Structure 1
Amino acid sequence: MDKISVFGVLLGLTAIILGHWLEGGHIGSLVQFTAFLIVIGGTMGAVMIQTEMRHFFAGIKMLRWIFFPPSMDFRKVLSTLMNWGNQARRGGLLALEAYLNSEKDPFVKRGLTMVVDGAEPETVRRALELDIDAYEDQARAAAKIWESAGGYSPTFGILGAVLGLIHVMENLTDPSKLGAGIAVAFVATIYGVGAANLFLLPVANKLKHYIMLEVRRREMVAEGLVTIANGENPRLLENKLAGFLHH
């Protein structure tokens, strides 16, 4: 679990609620279902309109990365590639066929299969680079739903505020209904701005960071497999891939 994400969410919510309480406000006044419905429902509707269905649901699935990041152990990748390089030097490329069945990563398995089948190194490189580009485009399109939501959310907060004020104006002769309308107006703004800056935009930025790391991991794998296909010394392989460890 990514503890800093959990702590960040709790810290942000605590700061807002505690600050409201210290100013003499009631915690219950921040709970307005009408405002929540306007902001969250409107934001999600706008995102759905601009996004393809496959990207929308892929972005929803990626949300778990915020608290349970994907495993990207670059040192483990280097160790695996070094082992494959040594095996290929001793027993030839066909010696790597034994690793195909145990490999679960489709990207790695495809590249390794091409190497075992004796594909030209440049052919392997081009094929894997196309896979990397396709993955990056799809992943960024999925992560963009959170960035878009962060842009729409404050606007729907303002819309909720306007609707609340309209309700107030319609009931100026009935003071008992004024409080509820004003509450919806201000709380909707809080929901819109707060959701965007405390959750939606940070989620988008963190997802983009993980996508960048995954792209680097795939580039590392591609470079390693091409080096193995070229029959180069495993020590050269280690030197070439050492730069990826800084990511």
Structure 2
Amino acid sequence: MDLLTLAGLIVAFTSVFLANWLGGGEVILLLNLPSAIIVVIGSLGAALAQSNLREALSAIKMLSWALFPPAIDLSGNRRTINLLAHKARRFSIIALEADIKALNNIFAMRAMQMAVDGAEPDLLSDRLHDEAERIRDKRGHCISFLESIGGYAPTLGIMGSVLGLIQAMANLDSPEALGHGIAVAFVSTLYGQGFANLVIFPICRKLSRYADLELLNNQMFIDGIHGIATGKHPQRLDLELSGYE
């Protein structure tokens, strides 16, 4: 679990509440359910309107990476490839079939299985590199969907403020109620900016880095398996793969 994500969100929101408290504001004024609904639900609805169901579901699933990132160990995977290269050089690439499941990576397992089955190494490498890029593109579409939520949030926050002001204007005969209504109205703008810049955009940046790391990991597996399939010396192969770390 990535506790740094939780810590970052807690620090960010604490700074807002602390600043409000130090400025003499009432904390209760920052808690407004209608504002949260129009910003969060409204932004999600706008993003859904521009996308499709599969992409939206994939994006929501990928959102879990913020707390539970994919386990990617470039150094460990490099050592695994090196061990497999030594075994293949000592025996043959066919001997690696028993080690395929030990890779513990669906992409690498499929690539190794293709190599063991006798796929032409250069063709295998080209096809897998294209597939790795397509996987990264799909991740990018998911991240773009989430970023669109953050893009709509500030606008929805302004709309919430306008609605709040409309309701506040109905109390012109009561100055006290009018002042309270205006204060609550601007909470929607705060929610829109906060939801976008304290939650959505930082998380999207983190997801983008994980997606880049996943691509790098897949490319390392491809080059490593290609080297094994072509009979490249394990030490030379390991030296070439060191550039991925």
Q: TM-score, normalised by structure 1?
A: 0.94
Deviations 1:25-73 (A, max 9, x none): 1111101111111111110101111122112111112222222221111
Contact 1:164 1:183 in 2 (8 A): no
Q: Partner of 2:46 in structure 1?
A: 46
Change (3 A) 1:215 1:101: closer
Contact 1:160 1:184 in 2 (8 A): no
Q: Partner of 2:152 in structure 1?
A: 152
Q: Partner of 2:228 in structure 1?
A: 228
Q: Which ranges of 4 or more aligned residues in structure 1 deviate by more than 4 Å? A: 174-177
Q: Partner of 2:183 in structure 1?
A: 183
CA distance in 2, matches of 1:190, 1:21: 15
CA distance in 2, matches of 1:101, 1:217: 17
Number of residue pairs the alignment of both structures matches: 245
Q: Partner of 2:143 in structure 1?
A: 143
Q: Partner of 1:25 in structure 2?
A: 25
Q: Which amino acid aligns with 2:32?
A: Q
Contact 1:34 1:184 in 2 (8 A): no
Q: Partner of 1:121 in structure 2?
A: 121
Q: How big is the shift at 1:177?
A: 4.4
Q: Partner of 2:86 in structure 1?
A: 86
Deviations 1:200-247 (A, max 9, x none): 1111111111100000000000000111111010001101100101xx
Contact 1:20 1:26 in 2 (8 A): yes
Q: Which amino acid aligns with 2:165?
A: L
Contact 2:29 2:184 in 1 (8 A): no
Q: How big is the shift at 1:191?
A: 0.2
CA distance in 1, matches of 2:203, 2:227: 36
Q: How big is the shift at 1:81?
A: 0.4
Q: How big is the shift at 1:179?
A: 4.3
Consecutive unaligned residues in structure 2, runs of 5 or more: none
CA distance in 1, matches of 2:76, 2:101: 19
CA distance in 1, matches of 2:188, 2:153: 10
CA distance in 2, matches of 1:97, 1:40: 49
CA distance in 2, matches of 1:78, 1:104: 13
CA distance in 2, matches of 1:73, 1:7: 23
Q: Which amino acid aligns with 1:219?
A: Q
Q: Which amino acid aligns with 2:113?
A: T
Q: Partner of 1:131 in structure 2?
A: 131
The SS at the match of 2:231 is coil
Deviations 1:85-123 (A, max 9, x none): 011101111011111344442211111011101111111
Moved more, 90-99 or 54-63: 54-63
Q: CA RMSD in A?
A: 1.5
Q: TM-score, normalised by structure 2?
A: 0.95
Q: How big is the shift at 1:180?
A: 5.0
CA distance in 2, matches of 1:104, 1:72: 10
CA distance in 2, matches of 1:183, 1:34: 14
Q: Which amino acid aligns with 1:193?
A: Q
Identity %: 39
Consecutive unaligned residues in structure 1, runs of 5 or more: none
Q: How big is the shift at 1:165?
A: 1.1
Change (3 A) 1:103 1:235: closer
CA distance in 1, matches of 2:49, 2:105: 33
Q: How big is the shift at 1:3?
A: 3.0
